[in-house]
Amino acid sequence: MKLRPWNNIKINECNEPLISIPDSIFRITPHPYMTLGAPYLNGADPWVLRESVLQRLIAAQQHLSKKNPNLQLALFDAWRPISVQKFMFNYSIQETCKSRGVDINDYSLIEDINEIIEEVSRFWAKPSSNPSTPPPHSTGAAIDLTLADTRGVPLDLGGEIDFIGDQSRPDFYKKDSLSEPFSLQNVFHSRRSLLCAIMEEAGFVQHPNEWWHFSYGDQLWSWLSRRGDAIYGATFDVSKDSTCSFPSLVT
């Protein structure tokens, strides 16, 4: 798999601690990856972020409340141990193969399998323990989130979080929203734009492939904002085994 352009960014670790996300920030429960059986070892808590990231998340919620008091941010995922990154990376490859009728154990389909691995890696960072290329969520700098109403019901933003495909691009509905201003596509684009504006106002950057993914202080943030070195590297859990389950399939 190819390195992403932001993986060349230097990390100057600032050693900020991970801080628990307060209950005032709504979260989608039960946690989706825990439900799938992802290994949060020794009671690892996904609902933590670096201190400055959390401060900006709280600020984003305040910005949203001022713009629309009927809405709130809805967290889907925050800090992700390497062990969970590995589990979800492999799970996504397996599920994508199943959905496309590709038998992952049939090595005569190696080209199809490798294409799926490459596509999945656009959305799921390789679970590397290399300190120079940490998966964004392992740094405590990245957040997956959406919008919800005040009852905690998530809004429809035109695509599921973690969907593998073009529909996940932040601007996927932009063209249709301009040509059809009263369409559902316009609603989706407006909601995605609101989420992005709120998060950017608080200092976050948005992942170019994922409408739900925002970060502050990691390599992606540094690359997009051009504000110098990244300040957060990976914060590892007790699992140091980050080898992929399909090493012979990874190019």
Which amino acid is residue 149, in one-letter code? D
Question: Of 67, 59, 84, 71, which Cα lies nearest the Cα of 26?
Answer: 71
- Helix%, strand%, coil% for the chain, nearest 5: 40, 10, 45
Assign 98 to helix, strand or coil.
Answer: helix
210 given a catalytic annotation:
yes
Cα–Cα distance measured from residue 33 to residue 222, given in angstroms and rounded to the nearest whole number = 27
User: Any idea of the CA torsion for 230, 236, 241, 246, to the nearest 10 degrees?
Assistant: -50
DSSP string, 115-149: HHHHHHTTTS------TTS--GGGGT-EEEEEEEE
CA torsion 50-53-57-63 (nearest 10°) is 160
Euclidean distance between CA atoms 86 and 100, whole angstroms: 22
Q: Which amino acid is at 175?
A: K
**Candidate list 13, 111, 118, 210, residue with the active-site label:** 210
Whole-angstrom distance, CA of residue 68 vs CA of residue 46: 28
* Catalytic positions, written as ranges: 210
